[in-house]
Amino acid sequence: MTNHPDEVADRATTCFQHAYGQAPAGRWAAPGRVNLIGEHTDYNDGFVLPFALPLRTVVAATPQPTGSWTVCSELTGETVSFGTDEVTRPGRVTGWAAYVAGVVWALREAGHPVPGARLAVASDVPLGAGLSSSAALEAAVLTALVDLGGLELPADQQPRLAQRAENQYVGAPTGIMDQSAVIRCRAGHALFLDCRTERVEHIPFDLDGAGLAVLVIDSRAPHRHADGEYAARRASCEKAAALLDVPALRDVPPTGLDDALARLPDDETRRRVRHVVTEDQRVLDTVALLRDGQVRQIGPLLTASHASMRDDFAITVPEVDTAVEAALAAGALGARMTGGGFGGCVLALVEADQSDRVGTAVTAAYANRAFPTPTVTPATPAPGATRLD
């Protein structure tokens, strides 16, 4: 996955100068992410293991009088302005700028004196590919406003605030994983996050050293009904937890799974619960192997995670199943869809010298099924949100 940090930052500056006729006071960047394992576990208070990508969103910014914000997007060419009226209640700014207004709203709700600002956004995180372009935008804006205003908001409290922007201002009922990943990840590491306590452990994930690569394959599948289906999965998990009389599905231990399933009323709910409970355990098993330096051995856990998402959680689509099957048939050590589902990206763990072979096999399988040509790019764990200059 090619990294052009300077190029994206330069584009943000150019966009800023074009819109405002001045130079920015600084530039802040936040990455996209992939999730190595732990899908739909975050809103069940469970475990996830994402890592940040070298692809980044960069915000160039400068203060302007408090109570007014202007943001331009290099991608759309639009400039959107809003004042305090638009950030007293969620939903008043819509479209891509809602992520920006949402961050201002969430900061103000939390009692922070948010500085007014002029902002310009450029990004090489693809939109709609399930790589957290929205969390990257939220985090880049958030770190910029925190710095510009000298706000007291430590990094470990920032993901929850960015999540509130997304949940309440934008209206997407997502968990805490994406915002945590893009803010708290470290280069060379995966982020082991307990989504209940928000405790993190940075797990070394040295692919080069192990002679391995993670390929990120954009399935190119359109996100069919993704928002409604995501909300439905979340509702189903919450209903199951209530029926089982536990605070969240994280509280069902693997040893208690059969008993729990026997208490549920229908097959669909049982499958949803089985996915979440077994997926939490797969995260813990993956972390144990990585701590032990056994990187190759995580492959079967990744593949089992995919089967669980396909058969029990029912969130995969033919394009991602095809990519996973073709990658495995070509010798990948493990492969799975990553992210919320219904399209997005697949990741495959491969011997580094097998990368081309696996990529070619996936592309050929797509051609056979007349799917659009997928993009296949190696990814290494990159740092989280940061000020550039």
Pick 40 or 250: Cβ nearer ligand GLA = 40
Torsion of CA 369, 375, 377, 382, to 10 degrees: -120
CB-based contact 278:311 (threshold 8 Å) = no
Q: Which of 42, 45, 124, 178 is catalytic?
A: 178
Pick 12 or 136: Cβ nearer ligand GLA = 136
CA dist 388 and 170 (Å) reads 27
Pick 101 or 276: Cβ nearer ligand GLA = 276
- Residue 147 CB, shortest distance to ligand GLA, in Å, is 25
Pick 42 or 45: Cβ nearer ligand GLA = 42
CA dist 389 and 387 (Å) reads 6
3-state secondary structure string, the chain? CCCCHHHHHHHHHHHHHHHHCCCCCEEEEEEEEEECCCCCCHHHCCEECEEEEEEEEEEEEEEECCCEEEEEECCCCCEEEEEHHHHCCCCCCCCCHHHHHHHHHHHHHCCCCCCEEEEEEEECCCCCCCCCHHHHHHHHHHHHHHHHHCCCCCHHHHHHHHHHHHHHHHCCCCCCHHHHHHHHCCCCEEEEEECCCCCEEEEECCCCCCCEEEEEEECCCCCCCHHHHHHHHHHHHHHHHHHHCCCCHHHCCHHHHHHHHHCCCCHHHHHHHHHHHHHHHHHHHHHHHHHCCCCHHHHHHHHHHHHHHHHCCCCCCHHHHHHHHHHHHCCCCEEEEECCCCCCEEEEEEEHHHHHHHHHHHHHHHHHCCCCCCEEEEECCECCCEECC
Pick 232 or 352: Cβ nearer ligand GLA = 232
Write out the residues near ligand GLA by the rule CB under 6 A: 35, 39-40, 42-43, 174-175, 177-178, 339-340
Pick 276 or 330: Cβ nearer ligand GLA = 276
Pick 174 or 308: Cβ nearer ligand GLA = 174
Does the annotation mark 178 as catalytic? yes
Q: What amino acid positions are annotated as catalytic residues?
A: 178
